[in-house]
Amino acid sequence: MLLQSTSPSKFAHPQLAIVIPLKSKRVARNWDVTCQALRRTIGSLSNQSIDRFSAIVVGHEPPELPERRFWRFHSLEISIPELAAGGDYGRRNDFDRILDKNRKIARGVQLLSSKTPSHWFYLDADDVLDSAFVETVLKIESPGCIVDGGYQIDANNRRAIPNSNLSEICGSTCVLTSDVMEFPASLEPDEITRIPWCRYPHSRMDEFFSHELGRPFQRLRQPLVGYVTGHGDNCSDEFRSGISAKFKNWIKPRLLGRHQEQLLRERFGMECSD
């Protein structure tokens, strides 16, 4: 079912709905680190140049940080997907992590649909947004945009690497307008896939626009998103199990990144104190 059939230009006061899925404490390698990463994400929202947005964090256990006017937490009533026999929640392939994440995205979409937003965005709970993000994407017309400009940020070393193809590595890069957004009637797998983010991986959202919709979309090259790594709880860390891959991931921000304390503090709202 379509949420809206109205072009964003028809909204007198465009609003952005932001859905933030949060992993469970049972899945996180370190719950304190998970909450600290979310705190940075929320900090980048409080740093926005305009306040025409609402955010909801959907998880199982409430994070250890206070809610504010622009965001709230919702506890998902459905438990984490079952483990494979002899499995461990710390291993990606031992349970359906994608289903767990998509359920949280779907519940967030359902809850924020009552606000009839003009634009939608799903944000990973450890990424950060430039202060101009909301102001910029609310100018996007139908059907949406892919944000390819941004930085890969090493949180521990406060180094930032410019990236002009961010959607290839970061999920927090696709904005949809209301006239192409759908919401599920339930959290069953076939209903969840009504949502484009739950139907396509982030690196292939261009296929949704070009092939499924057959409509033009915008690619934003200005640096609007920070893909935060180096905090020890990235899902992508699981793909770097070998010594060589881990070393490359460690050395990359040191070779290519620059210390960007002012950038991170002023534009992304990140605390940079030692």
Domains of the chain with CATH codes: 8-268 (3.90.550.10)
User: Can you give the pLDDT at residue 67?
Assistant: 78
Return the half-sphere exposure (C-beta side, CA atoms, 13 A cut-off) of residue 42. 22
Global confidence as pTM: 0.88
User: Can you give the pLDDT at residue 50?
Assistant: 96
Neighbours of 235 (CB within 10 A): 14
Which is it for the CA torsion 171, 55, 130, 230, positive or negative?
negative
Cα–Cα distances in angstroms (integers) from residue 92 to residues 9, 88, 118, 122, 233, in the given order: 41, 8, 35, 21, 12
Residue whose structure tokens are 């979310």: 38
User: Can you give the pLDDT at residue 4?
Assistant: 42
User: Can you give the pLDDT at residue 2?
Assistant: 41
Q: Contact 125/22 with Cβ under 8 angstroms?
A: yes
Q: Region of 144 please: left (phi>0), alpha (psi -120 to 50) or beta.
A: left
Per-residue pLDDT of the chain (274 residues; tens, 9 = 90+): 444 445 565 666 899 999 999 999 999 989 999 999 999 999 999 999 999 999 999 999 999 888 778 999 999 999 999 998 888 887 778 889 999 999 999 999 999 999 999 999 999 999 999 999 999 999 998 899 999 999 999 877 778 889 999 999 999 999 999 999 998 999 999 999 999 999 999 999 999 999 999 999 999 999 999 999 875 565 555 544 556 655 455 555 555 555 677 778 889 988 754 3
User: Can you give the pLDDT at residue 69?
Assistant: 84
User: Can you give the pLDDT at residue 235?
Assistant: 55
Cα separation, 175 vs 83, whole angstroms:
32
Q: Tokens standing for 229?
A: 């790594």
Q: Contact 249/157 with Cβ under 8 angstroms?
A: no
How many residues are given for the chain?
Answer: 274
